[in-house]
Amino acid sequence: MVEAARKLIAAIDSDPFLKYLFSEGKMLGVLVCGKPDSEETVTLNAFSGLAGGHSVLPGFVPPIFDTTKVPSLRGPVDRGSAPVTSPAAPGLPIPLRSIPASAVALRSECSEGPSTSRESKELQEWLFRQYRVKNGLGEEKDIKDIFAARGLVPPGGTGECAAPKLLDYAFRNGLKPLCMGEFWYGASPGSGEVRQHGRFYPSCTGKCGPLLSWMLQGVDVEDNPLQATTGFDSIRILYEDDTLLAVNKPSGMLCAPGLTGTESLQEILEKDYGKLYSCHRLDMDTSGVILYARTPQAQVEIQRQFSQREVKKTYLAHLCAGTRPWKGKMTGTIALPLAPDWYDRPRQVVDKENGKQAITEFEILRIFPDGEMDVRFTPHTGRTHQLRVHAASPLGLGRPIKGDALYGDASKNRLQLHAESLSFKHPVSGETIRVCSLPPSSEDTDRTDSAS
Of 168, 283, 344, 444, the active-site residue reads: 283
Active site residue 283: yes
Using H for helix, E for strand and C for coil, what is the string for the chain?
CHHHHHHHHHHHHCCHHHHHHHCCCEEEEEEEEECCCCCCEEEEEEECCCECCECCCCCCCCCCCCHHHCCCCCCCCCCCCCCCCCCCCCCCCCCCCCCCCHHHHHHHHHHCCCCCHHHHHHHHHHHHHHCEEECCCCCEEEHHHHHHCCCCCCCCCCCCCHHHHHHHHHHHCCCEEEEEEEEEECCCCCCCCCCCCCCECCCCCCCHHHHHHHHCCCCCCCCCCCCCCCCCCCCEEEEECCCEEEEEECCCCCCCCCCCCCCCHHHHHHHHHCCCEECCCCCCCCEEEEEEECCHHHHHHHHHHHHCCCCEEEEEEEECCCCCCCCCCCEEEEECCEEECCCCCCCEEECCCCCECCEEEEEEEEECCCCCEEEEEEECCCCCCHHHHHHHCCCCCCCCECCCHHHCCCCCCCCCEEEEEEEEECCCCCCEEEEECCCCCHHHCCCCHHHC
What residues act catalytically? Answer: 283
